[in-house]
Structure 1
Amino acid sequence: MRSSAVDEDSIQFSFAGQLESFLYVTHDKLFQSIKQCFASAFSERVMQYRHTNNISFIGVRPAVIVQQMIFGEISGVMFTGNPLNNDIDQTLINATYGIGEGIVSGELDSDTWIVDHFGNIVAQKIVPKKEMIAFDNKTGSGTKKCNVDHDRSQKPSLTNEQVLELKRQGDILESLFDYIPQDIEWCIQGGILYFLQSRPITTLGHINKSKPKTILDNSNIIESYPGVTSPFTFSFASMCYNTVYRQFYSSMGVSEDRIDALTSSFRTLLCYIDGRIYYNINSWHKTLQLLPGYKLNSELMDNMMGVKSPTKIDAFSSISFSDKFFIEVPRLLNGIYHILGSFIELNKTIKSFIQTFDQVTKGYMDEKFESYTNRQLLDIYENEIEPKVLNNWKAPIINDLYVMIYFGILTKLMNKLDIENNQSIQNDLLCGEGEVESTMPTMEIIRISNWIRKDKQLMDLFMSTNEDQLRATLLESSDSQYETIRKKLKKYISDYGFRCMGELKLEESSLKEDPTFLFTTLKNYIKKDEINLKEMEEKEKAIRKKAESIVFKKVSRKLKPVFLHVLNNARKAIKNREKLRFMRTKIFGIMRSMINAIGRNFSHDGLIAQPKDIFYLHFDEMIQLIEGRCISMDHIKNTITLRKEAEIKYQAEEPGERMLFFGDIYEKNFVEIQTDYNLDESDCDLGENTYKGVPCSPGEIEGIAKIVLSPKDANLDGEIMVTKRTDPGWVPLFPSVSGIVIERGSVLSHSAVVAREMGIPTIVGLRGITDKIQNNDKIYLNGTTGIVKKL
Structure 2
Amino acid sequence: MDYVIAFEERDRCVNETVGGKGKNLAELVADGFDVPGGFIVSTEAYGLALQEAGFASHVLADVRTIDYDDLAALDSVSGRIRSMIEAVAIPAALRDEVAKAYASLGDDMRVAVRSSGTAEDTAAASFAGLHDTFLEICGVDDVLDAIRRCWASMWTARAVSYRNSNGFDHGEASIAIVVQAMVHSAISGVMFTANPLNARTDEMVINASYGLGEAIVSGQVTPDEYVVGGDDLAIKRAHIGDKALTITRAESGSGTVTADTAGVDRTRPALTDEQIVELAGIGREVQRHYGGLPQDIEWGYVDGRFHLLQARPITGVDFTWDEGVDDWQTLPDDEDALWTFKYSEQYWTGGITPLFYSIRARESHRGIMDMSALAGFRDLLELRTYKYRFGTAYYSVDWDEPFQRYALPRLFRPSGSFNVPEDMQAATHAEPLDVKRWLRMMASINSSPTSSFYGWKKNARKFIFTPEEVAKANGLSETDMRKLSDSALYRYERDLQEQAIKFMESLWVGTHVQNLMIMGGFAQMVARYYKGENALIGQELMSGLPTNLQSQESQEFFRLSELIRHSPVLRQTFDGNQGAAFFTALEDSEEGRAFLERYTVFLTEHGHRGHADRDIYFSRRADDPSIDYEAFRMYLQAENPTPPWELERTVIAKREAAFDEVMAHIGKVRFGKVLQQLFTFLYDEVVDFLVLREDWRHYIDRITFAKRKAFLEVGRRAVERGFLDELDDCFFLSENELFSLIDGGQSDVLVKAKIAGRRKQFDRMNTRMVTPPMLLRGNDPIDDADEVIEGATQMAGIGTSGGVIEGIARVMPSMSMIGDLNPGEILVCNATDPGWAPVFSIIGGLVIETGGMLAHGSCLSREHGIPAVQLVNGMRMIPEGAHIRINGTSGSVEILDEALAAAGSAK
Please report the TM-score for the alignment, with normalisation by the length of structure 1. Answer: 0.62
Higher mean alpha-carbon deviation, 582-591 vs 371-380, is at 371-380
Structure 1 residue 660 displacement after superposition: 3.4
Give the 5 Å matches for 1:400-549. 400-401=511-512, 402-419=514-531, 424-474=536-586, 477=587, 480-533=590-643, 534-549=645-660
1:212-258 Cα shifts (integer Å, max 9, x gaps): 864433334246544432211221122111112122334x342xxx5
- Aligned twin of 2:424: 311
Structure 1 residue 450 displacement after superposition: 1.4
- The answer to whether the Cα contact below 8 Å between 2:611 and 2:621 also exists between their aligned partners in 1 is no
- Aligned twin of 1:75: none
For the residues of structure 1 that align with 2:748 and 2:557, how far apart are their CA atoms? 46
**Structure 2 vs 1, CA of residues 607 and 615 (structure 1 numbering), >3 Å: closer, same or farther?**
same
Correspondent of 1:702 among 806, 825, 841: 806
For the residues of structure 1 that align with 2:794 and 2:760, how far apart are their CA atoms? 41
Counterpart of 1:416 in 2: which secondary structure?
A: helix
Give the 5 Å matches for 1:64-143. none
- Aligned twin of 2:884: 779
1:563-593 Cα shifts (integer Å, max 9, x gaps): 1111111111111112112211111111000
For the residues of structure 2 that align with 1:501 and 1:364, how far apart are their CA atoms? 20
- Aligned twin of 1:183: none
Structure 1 residue 422 displacement after superposition: 6.0
Counterpart of 2:536 in 1: which secondary structure?
A: helix
Higher mean alpha-carbon deviation, 448-457 vs 711-720, is at 711-720
1:726 and 2:832 matched: yes
- Aligned twin of 2:363: 240
- The answer to whether the Cα contact below 8 Å between 1:224 and 1:503 also exists between their aligned partners in 2 is no
For the residues of structure 1 that align with 2:544 and 2:446, how far apart are their CA atoms? 28
- The answer to whether the Cα contact below 8 Å between 1:215 and 1:281 also exists between their aligned partners in 2 is yes
Correspondent of 1:249 among 372, 390, 415: 372
1:262 and 2:371 matched: no
Structure 1 residue 263 displacement after superposition: 4.1
1:321-344 Cα shifts (integer Å, max 9, x gaps): xxx9xxx66533221223455112
- The answer to whether the Cα contact below 8 Å between 2:340 and 2:776 also exists between their aligned partners in 1 is no
Structure 1 residue 757 displacement after superposition: 2.3
1:666 and 2:772 matched: no
Partner amino acid, structure 1, of 2:858: A
1:575 and 2:675 matched: no
- The answer to whether the Cα contact below 8 Å between 2:463 and 2:503 also exists between their aligned partners in 1 is yes
**Structure 2 vs 1, CA of residues 447 and 398 (structure 1 numbering), >3 Å: closer, same or farther?**
farther
Partner amino acid, structure 1, of 2:865: G
Structure 1 residue 657 displacement after superposition: 5.2
- The answer to whether the Cα contact below 8 Å between 1:226 and 1:502 also exists between their aligned partners in 2 is no
- The answer to whether the Cα contact below 8 Å between 2:545 and 2:648 also exists between their aligned partners in 1 is no
Higher mean alpha-carbon deviation, 711-720 vs 583-592, is at 711-720
- Aligned twin of 1:393: 504
- Aligned twin of 1:351: 461
For the residues of structure 1 that align with 2:415 and 2:475, how far apart are their CA atoms? 39
Structure 1 residue 594 displacement after superposition: 0.3
Structure 1 residue 365 displacement after superposition: 7.2
Correspondent of 1:292 among 388, 403, 407: 407
1:190-216 Cα shifts (integer Å, max 9, x gaps): xxxxxxxxxxxxxxxxxxxxx986443
For the residues of structure 1 that align with 2:858 and 2:637, how far apart are their CA atoms? 25
- Aligned twin of 1:769: 874
Partner amino acid, structure 1, of 2:845: G
Structure 1 residue 414 displacement after superposition: 1.8
Structure 1 residue 542 displacement after superposition: 2.8
Structure 1 residue 512 displacement after superposition: 1.6
- Aligned twin of 1:58: none
Higher mean alpha-carbon deviation, 367-376 vs 572-581, is at 367-376
Structure 1 residue 696 displacement after superposition: 2.1
For the residues of structure 1 that align with 2:775 and 2:346, how far apart are their CA atoms? 21
- The answer to whether the Cα contact below 8 Å between 1:357 and 1:389 also exists between their aligned partners in 2 is no
- The answer to whether the Cα contact below 8 Å between 1:657 and 1:675 also exists between their aligned partners in 2 is no
- Aligned twin of 1:605: 721
1:491-521 Cα shifts (integer Å, max 9, x gaps): 2233222223344212222222112121011
Partner amino acid, structure 1, of 2:564: I
Structure 1 residue 780 displacement after superposition: 3.4
For the residues of structure 2 that align with 1:751 and 1:651, how far apart are their CA atoms? 17
Structure 1 residue 634 displacement after superposition: 5.3
Partner amino acid, structure 1, of 2:393: I
Give the 5 Å matches for 1:558-573. 558=673, 559-573=675-689
Partner amino acid, structure 2, of 1:721: L
Partner amino acid, structure 2, of 1:540: V
Greater gyration radius: 2
Give the 5 Å matches for 1:72-221. 214-221=337-344
Correspondent of 1:737 among 843, 846, 867: 843
1:247-300 Cα shifts (integer Å, max 9, x gaps): 2334x342xxx54x53442xx3222222122223223224555x4336455432
- The answer to whether the Cα contact below 8 Å between 2:540 and 2:654 also exists between their aligned partners in 1 is yes
- The answer to whether the Cα contact below 8 Å between 1:396 and 1:580 also exists between their aligned partners in 2 is no
- The answer to whether the Cα contact below 8 Å between 1:695 and 1:786 also exists between their aligned partners in 2 is yes
**Structure 2 vs 1, CA of residues 509 and 351 (structure 1 numbering), >3 Å: closer, same or farther?**
closer
Give the 5 Å matches for 1:356-375. 357-364=469-476, 369-375=481-487
For the residues of structure 2 that align with 1:369 and 1:773, how far apart are their CA atoms? 46
Partner amino acid, structure 1, of 2:341: N
For the residues of structure 2 that align with 1:601 and 1:772, how far apart are their CA atoms? 44
Structure 1 residue 388 displacement after superposition: 4.0
1:516-549 Cα shifts (integer Å, max 9, x gaps): 1210110121121243324312321232133224
Counterpart of 1:499 in 2: which secondary structure?
A: coil
1:649-684 Cα shifts (integer Å, max 9, x gaps): 76788554553344x3236xx32253789xxxxxxx
1:589 and 2:705 matched: yes
**Structure 2 vs 1, CA of residues 269 and 218 (structure 1 numbering), >3 Å: closer, same or farther?**
same
Correspondent of 1:759 among 858, 865, 868: 865
Structure 1 residue 742 displacement after superposition: 1.7
Correspondent of 2:417 among 275, 296, 302: 302
Partner amino acid, structure 1, of 2:355: F
- The answer to whether the Cα contact below 8 Å between 1:438 and 1:579 also exists between their aligned partners in 2 is yes
Unaligned runs of 5+ in 2: 1-333, 897-907
Higher relative contact order (CA 8 A, sep 6+): 1
**Structure 2 vs 1, CA of residues 642 and 780 (structure 1 numbering), >3 Å: closer, same or farther?**
closer
Structure 1 residue 631 displacement after superposition: 6.0
Identity %: 20
Counterpart of 1:729 in 2: which secondary structure?
A: helix
- Aligned twin of 2:398: 282
For the residues of structure 2 that align with 1:311 and 1:729, how far apart are their CA atoms? 37
Give the 5 Å matches for 1:35-54. none
For the residues of structure 2 that align with 1:650 and 1:762, how far apart are their CA atoms? 23
- The answer to whether the Cα contact below 8 Å between 1:706 and 1:721 also exists between their aligned partners in 2 is yes
For the residues of structure 1 that align with 2:535 and 2:853, how far apart are their CA atoms? 9
Counterpart of 1:554 in 2: which secondary structure?
A: helix
Structure 1 residue 618 displacement after superposition: 0.9
Structure 1 residue 372 displacement after superposition: 3.8
1:377 and 2:489 matched: yes
For the residues of structure 1 that align with 2:499 and 2:878, how far apart are their CA atoms? 48
Partner amino acid, structure 1, of 2:422: S
Counterpart of 1:504 in 2: which secondary structure?
A: coil
Counterpart of 1:344 in 2: which secondary structure?
A: coil
Q: CA RMSD in A?
A: 3.4
Partner amino acid, structure 2, of 1:600: R
For the residues of structure 2 that align with 1:436 and 1:790, how far apart are their CA atoms? 37
